[in-house]
Amino acid sequence: MAAHILDRVPERESLERRATDLLRRLIRFDTVSPPGNERPAQEFLRTLLEPAGFECELLGVVPERPNLVARLRGPADGPRLCLLGHIDTVLADPGEWSVDPWAGELGGGCVWGRGALDMKGQVAAETAAALGLVEEGWRPEAGELLLVFTCDEETGATYGARWLCEEEPDRVRCDFVVNEGAGAVMEFGGRRAYGVCVAEKGVFRFTLTTSGSAGHASLPRIGDNALVKMAPVLGALGDGPTQYVRSPEPAALLATLGLDGDDLEATMGAIQSSDPRFAALVEPMLGVTLTPTMIAASEKINVIPSRSELHVDCRVPPELGEEVARRAIHATLGDDGYDVRFTECVAGNRSPADTPLMDRIRAFMTREDPYAHVTPVVLQGFSDSHWWRRAFPECVAYGFFPQRAMDAVEAMSLFHAVDERVPVADLGLAASCYAELAVETLR
């Protein structure tokens, strides 16, 4: 089995070189969203994939923001494997960075720049894997290899994955998706584990309002200041106990790390005292998060506000709904003194954890890092996988970008942050993984 794979997957060194070069070029396309302006980057990728035999389509709502769908068909019917990525990034303030965020610099064994981790690095690794395989003469024996690079992931997928899955389902329908979400090594208590993101939390954003009565600001006791009433609310949201909710993915992770999954409070206490940064990564997986992000009150400096509005970004474990969010709010804030109005409700979804795709990922990682484990995890945030699971209930969508040179805590701290970078060794590792998944799935 191993010999068969190693015969056909291109050498690590050449994959690493190609993925590194590709990533540096992709970073130089400014695809900060909004406005995104992803077209030049998508056309660049098309000029690589089309001559290699991929049928390429640029599909979109507006000309400046197309999605790229590239397809390599095998001679017989079979499974469809989609290597997925988004080409847009969040913004960067060059003044805060130690390098130019759009230069694609190479230094200290890493490619630096906005999008290196989120997620042009994975797009580069997926493209390098596909091109490397084709150059070695590989074609799917059965089924199809799809490369889908979306626009507009960072601001809601209106032009990107959501639109593609809802409006062009026949172009992107598939059986397996490999996307972003997890894969960097987690180390705790002497154990090492690679997470495969099989599920995402839901988004339940709400506006919390406090009310009082207006008055002249020179007479502070005359009015009833709605803004001051936010102080205990903010305090409770900042310090409140986590509202734990049991779900299978964190249970699997804790078991893999040799931790008690029954007493979540005690377990989190133990993680917190030995590794606070790892705790910050794990805790949101275990329940509902309530994060206040925006606040508004009086529009006049000399008027005591009769009303104050706080916007809270709330995330709920997969497949659960508004009632779970409401329960967490009440447990944290009590029942009185505020009103809550939900403004955005999208329940998270999941794929089964026991699938041939998981087996193939496990087989690859076990060869790469024999003493490490592979475990399902839930993403604390949201990704394009959501739209594939929703549109195609049979589709298994996982987030997996394996990283061994950079661990999960460091990777997480660089997402959307200053000096984002990815080790070239991890680009090679990921490209090898994707090449192997294609060979093993499409036969």
Residues 282/285/288/293 CA torsion (nearest 10 deg): 60
Q: Which residues pair with 316 in a beta bridge?
A: 202
Residue 309 or 420 with smaller CB distance to Zn ion: 420
Q: Which tokens belong to 358? A: 């998981």
**In 3D, which of 322, 255, 327, 317 has the Cα closest to residue 285?**
317
> What is the set of active-site residues?
88, 153
Taking the least distance from each CB to Zn ion, the nearer of 210 and 403 is 403
Closest contact distance (angstroms) between CB of 31 and Zn ion is 12
Nearest residue to Zn ion, scored by beta-carbon proximity? 118
What is the closest distance, in whole angstroms, from the C-beta atom of residue 184 to Zn ion in the complex? 14
Q: In this structure, which amino acid lies at residue 66? A: P
312 contacts 205 by C-beta, under 8 angstroms? yes
Q: Which long-range contacts (CB under 8 A, 24 or more apart) does 161-165 make?
A: 161/67, 161/86, 161/384, 161/386, 161/387, 161/388, 162/387, 163/60, 163/61, 163/67, 164/59, 164/67, 164/69, 164/387, 165/387, 165/388, 165/390, 165/391, 165/392
Nearer to Zn ion, 104 or 399 (CB): 399
Nearer to Zn ion, 88 or 144 (CB): 88
CB of 181 to Zn ion, least distance (A): 8
CA distance linking residue 331 with residue 234, whole number of Å: 14
Nearer to Zn ion, 31 or 308 (CB): 31
Q: How far apart are CA 443 and CA 440, in angstroms?
A: 6
The minimum distance between CB 198 and Zn ion, in angstroms, equals 17
Smallest gap from Cβ 385 to Zn ion, in A, equals 11
Residue at 224: amino acid letter: D
Nearest-CA neighbor of 149 among 44, 254, 240, 76?
44
Residue 86 or 360 having the CB closest to Zn ion: 86
Residue labelled with tokens 């998981």: 358
Q: Nearer Cβ to Zn ion, position 123 or 227?
A: 123
**Residues forming the site for Zn ion (CB under 5 A):** 118-119, 180
Closer residue to Zn ion in complex, CB, 283/420: 420
Whichever of 119 and 316 has its CB closer to Zn ion, that residue is: 119
Minimum Å distance from CB 439 to Zn ion? 26
Q: How far is the CB of 224 from Zn ion (least distance, A)?
A: 44
CB of 84 to Zn ion, least distance (A): 11
Q: Give CA separation, 42 vs 26, 77, 258, in Å.
A: 9, 28, 44
Tokens of 252: 């699997």
Distance in Å, CB of 82 to Zn ion, minimum: 16
